[in-house]
Amino acid sequence: MSRRQFLRSAVLSITGAALMLGTAGVALAADKPPIKVGILHSLSGTMAISETTLKDVMLMLIEEQNKKGGVLGRKLEPVVVDPASNWPLFAEKARELLAVQKVSATFGCWTSVSRKSVLPVFEELNGILFYPVQYEGEESSRNVFYTGAAPNQQAVPAVDYLIGEGVQRWVLAGTDYVYPRTTNKILEAYLKAKGVKAEDIMINYTPFGHADWQSIVKDIKKFGSAGKKTAVVSTINGDANVPFYKELANQGIKATDIPVIAFSVGEEELAGIDTKPLQGHLAAWNYFQSVKTPVNADFIKKWQTFTKNSKRVTNDPMEAHFIGFNMWVQAVEKAGTTDPDKVIDAMIGVAVPNLSGGYSAMLPNHHITKPVLIGEVQADGQFETVWKTPGLVAGDEWSDYLPDSKDLIADWRKPLSCGNFNTATGKCGAK
């Protein structure tokens, strides 16, 4: 290469590089930094069985939103962390999301104990958490939006349905932790208020992962043979359900004799069981995959395409994330910023379509309105809706049936801005 040629090529390449730099600069100006969205679901450990699905659905929703152009003209960027079903790790990971990754909103948690563990972090660092699972209520935080069902949006209507079916004797069976204990306390008070006698209520708690149900199922059978129609209200959680239902089927308890209505068993859980012997057992949720609406058909199709599995099922907490995510998008658009204080204020009153054909709205107590559906298990592992509340039910965070909480309300609108306002004493924070 002669000296001249070298010079020429050098000049050319320099101009080329300068040109490229120039275009890159233009692109950067148009491409504002993405909005980070935290996903705080266990991908390993005991809860991975339920939470992995929610991580996937969030990734799908974010991808969909980015196809539509993102939010405020900015792309969304998911930040996935794995708290590994370890409750203290939830708090650490939440801190990482808020302090290091500076996410604008977080979608996460399944168990109440994980939510309680991250709550102080979100309050301290002023983050936003969307919590998608049905829970025991008795809580309302300024920084948390509860898109799952409160007890009055699941447990109480379920019991109402069974009363209408002529049930007079009740077995309240649950796993031994805070959600079943609180829910059963509410239900017991509710049933007694409806005139059910104490001897017609049997309460039973079992440890996590209880696998040997022989004697408890036998007790239920015995309790159900007192000549009154009996039903089991099950708050049994997670892995304990499969052996429980298998034992019911083996001991020949059919839904026509003693129906079991479950609050924690959805399509995902049934995927691991042969459902033929379980036909007719019930579940109460705010959404079933079998709901026939165009928006649900579209959601299922997108989900099965996204997961590349035509047999993947959808379930209630997924719908809760669908609602919560769309609410957040709308609130951010409304506020015109991702500033947490402004988004939190903008959230109240936001209404988005749910998957069962109506609209869900965010209430001042940070809970949402939803319909309540009762479904019967079908042979194909789906639920057939047999009953539905006529309208939407507003989430009630402080139960009216517990003496400690019946005077409390939450209202995060100014000037009240209080999560536990006592209407009897007129003070905030007094339980």
Partner 1 sequence: MRMLLLLLSLLVTPLAWGQATGPLIDALATDDYAAKEQALTALTETGDPAIVPALKALEGGQLYRRLTDDKVVIGRENGDNISLTDPLSGDTLGSVPAGDLELIRVNNRLRRAIGASLGALTLRSPDAAVRRTAAEAVFVNRDAAALPLLEAALAEEQDAKVKRSLQQARAAILLADANLGTEEKLSSIATIADKGGQAALALLNPLTGSTEPAVAKAATEAVRLIDNKLAWAAAAQNIIYGMSLGSVLLLAAIGLAVTFGVMGVINMAHGEMVMLGAYTTYVVQDLIRAHAPGLFDWSLLIALPLAFIVAGGVGILIERGIIRFLYGRPLETLLATWGLSLVLQQAVRSLFGPTNMEVGNPDWMAGAFQVGEVTITYGRMWIFLFGLIVFAALMLLLRRTPLGLQMRAVTQNRSMARAMGIRTARVDALTFGLGSGIAGLAGVALSQIDNVSPNLGQGYIIDSFMIVIFGGVGNLWGTLVGALSLGIVNKLLEPLAGAVLGKILVLVGIILFIQARPRGLFALKGRAIEH
Residues lying near partner 1 in the complex (CB under 8 A): 43-46, 48-49, 52-53, 165, 176, 204-207, 209-212, 214-216, 218-219, 221-222, 224-228, 239, 242-243, 246-247, 249-252, 254-257, 259, 268-269, 271-274, 277, 279-280, 376, 378-379, 384, 386
Which residues does 119 contact at the CB level (< 8 Å), separation at least 6?
Answer: 141, 143, 144
Least separation in angstroms between CB 166 and partner 1: 10
> Could you give the maximum distance between any two Cα atoms of the chain, in Å?
107
Q: How far is CA 374 from CA 15, 130, 295, in A?
A: 69, 25, 20
CB of 43 to partner 1, least distance (A): 8
Distances (CA, A) of 160 to 135, 357, 402: 19, 23, 18
175 three-class SS: strand
Q: Which is nearer to partner 1, 126 or 214 (CB)?
A: 214
DSSP summary character for residue 368: B
Q: Where is 93: in which H helix or E strand? A: helix 87-95
Say how far apart CA 317 and CA 108 lie, in whole Å: 11
Q: Minimum distance from CB of 238 to partner 1 (Å)?
A: 9
- How near is the Cβ of 312 to partner 1 at its closest, in Å? 9
Q: CA-CA distance, 241 to 111, in Å (whole number)?
A: 16
With beta carbons less than 8 A apart as the criterion, state whether 378 and 281 touch: no
Closer residue to partner 1 (CB): 236 or 323: 236
User: Which CB sits closer to partner 1, 266 or 419?
Assistant: 266
Task: Output phi, psi for 237, to 5 deg.
Answer: -110, 145
The residue (of 163 and 428) whose beta carbon lies closer to partner 1 is: 163
- The 3-class secondary structure across 309-347, one letter per residue, is CCCCCCCHHHHHHHHHHHHHHHHHHHHCCCCHHHHHHHH
The nearest distance, CB 380 to partner 1, in angstroms, is 8
Nearer to partner 1, 2 or 256 (CB): 256
Long-range contacts, 131-134 (Cβ 8 Å, 24+): 132/54, 132/107, 132/317, 132/318, 132/320, 132/321, 132/324, 133/109, 133/317, 133/320, 134/263, 134/264, 134/285, 134/316, 134/317
3-state secondary structure of 174: strand
Least distance CB 210 / partner 1 (angstroms): 6
Q: Which is nearer to partner 1, 121 or 248 (CB)?
A: 248
Of 10 and 271, the one with the shorter C-beta distance to partner 1 is 271
Nearest residue (CB) to partner 1, 17 versus 226: 226
Q: Least distance from C-beta 154 to partner 1, angstroms? A: 19
Rounded least distance, CB 292 to partner 1, Å? 11
Residue 1 structure tokens: 């290469």
